[in-house]
């Protein structure tokens, strides 16, 4: 229960930080007796629901993963956090999931799983598994390329 309270405090602090502090907003807050951050929360929920209703058939879950990840990536690069490998592997995974057959997007569970996986890798993981997987794939591709070059060299020598 403490974790939920701690999370709520983080959300509340975030909305407090983005709430406008102008005189008109303070006057409105005094008249309706509801803090402006709660109005901002409600407007955010309404906006997300409207976007969902408009885009649920054309990639809502992809957009939900793309835009927050894009902003987090840009913030990380701007702050020079040294997470270039993480973001490179994340965008490789994102690209791979985008080129999978469109028939998978028709399944609502695939879209949800894709969104959750992308958000997990973007915000809660360092993408070490992806980086190691890409390194292994690179080694296999390099071995195959070297084998192909040696076979081509043998063919050229025989001619």
3-state per-residue secondary structure call for 113-131:
HHHHHHHHHHHCCCCHHHH
Phi, psi (deg, nearest 5) at residue 10? -65, -45
**Which pLDDT value is given to residue 159?**
66
pTM: 0.54
Rounded-to-integer distance, Cα 36 and Cα 20, Å? 8
- Assign 135 to helix, strand or coil: helix
Identify whether the C-beta of residue 135 lies closer than 8 Å to the C-beta of residue 92. Answer: no
User: pLDDT tens string for the chain (159 positions)?
Assistant: 788 888 888 888 888 888 888 888 888 888 999 888 898 899 989 988 888 888 777 777 777 888 888 888 888 888 888 888 888 888 888 888 887 766 776 777 887 888 888 888 887 777 777 788 888 888 999 998 998 888 888 888 876
Per the structure block, which two tokens stand in for 60?
Answer: 């809502």
The burial of 43, by beta-carbon neighbours within 10 Å (0-12 exposed, 13-18 middle, 19 or more buried), is given as: exposed
**HEC-encoded secondary structure of 68-114:** HHHHHHHHHHHCCCCCHHHHHHHHHHHHHHHHCCHHHHHCHHHHHHH
**CA atoms of 124 and 126, how far apart (whole Å):** 7
Which two three-digit tokens encode residue 126? 């360092």
């Amino acid at each position: 229960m403490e974790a939920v309270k701690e999370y709520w405090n983080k959300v509340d602090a975030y909305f407090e930080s983005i709430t406008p502090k102008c005189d008109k907003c303070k006057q409105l807050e005094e008249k309706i007796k509801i803090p402006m951050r709660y109005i901002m929360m409600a407007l955010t929920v309404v906006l997300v629901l409207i976007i969902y209703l408009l885009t649920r058939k054309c990639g809502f879950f992809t957009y939900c993963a793309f835009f927050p990840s894009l902003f987090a990536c840009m913030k990380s690069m701007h702050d020079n956090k040294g997470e270039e490998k993480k973001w490179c592997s994340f965008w490789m995974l994102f690209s791979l999931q985008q080129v999978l057959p469109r028939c998978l997007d028709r399944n609502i569970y695939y879209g949800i799983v894709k969104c959750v996986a992308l958000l997990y890798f973007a915000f809660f993981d360092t993408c070490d598994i992806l980086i190691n997987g890409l390194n292994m794939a690179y080694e296999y591709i390099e071995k195959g390329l070297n084998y192909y070059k040696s076979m081509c060299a043998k063919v050229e020598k025989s001619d």
